[in-house]
Each structure stands twice: as C-alpha cells, then as structure tokens.
Amino acid sequence: MTGTTLDYHSDSISLRVVEALATATDTAAHELEPLYDVVDPEALDQLFQPGSPGGIRVEFEYDDSLVEVRNDGTISVDGTVHVSG
C-alpha cells in the first residue's frame, strides 16, 4: 500500500477504516494486523453501502482502540474523527 492514495468517495468503508487506524496509530496500513481478525470487512462494506438506511453505527475494538463507523461515512478512532464521507 505504500504510495497508494485512496479515493474516499468510492473506496470501501473497510479500506477507509484501515487508513483511519493507520493514521491513528502512526503505522503504515500494510503493517497493521488484518482487520478481519476483529470484524468481517465484507460485512462492514455491505452494511455501509450507498443508500443504506440512516442510523447505522458499528463500534468495535481494534488493538487498544475503539473504532466507530457511522452511516454518514464518518470513522472515528478513540473519539477522533479521521475520515468523513
């Protein structure tokens, strides 16, 4: 992933979560433990597709961080917003 730029308007929510975690932990995205060890990335992507009903929010712990994903595309790690759709 080195040198890769994500398009936050079209990339999957799971990729955006990985980028938010990388930023929050000051770790390269490819060096993080796999997201699927904590949450099913495919299920997360399906849940947060465009046109999903409002009010959806998912929280999970990744390492020592609390991650929150909201249906408006906002991703926060330990209360700090890292990505907004």
Predicted local distance difference test score (pLDDT) of residue 1 = 43
Residue 53 CA: distances (Å) to CA of 12, 33, 34, 47, 72: 17, 30, 28, 9, 10
pLDDT, tens digit (0-9, with 9 covering 90-100), for 4-32? 554 444 579 999 999 999 999 999 999 99
Mean pLDDT of the chain: 85
Does 85 have pLDDT greater than 70?
no
User: Which of 56 and 7 is assigned the larger pLDDT?
Assistant: 56
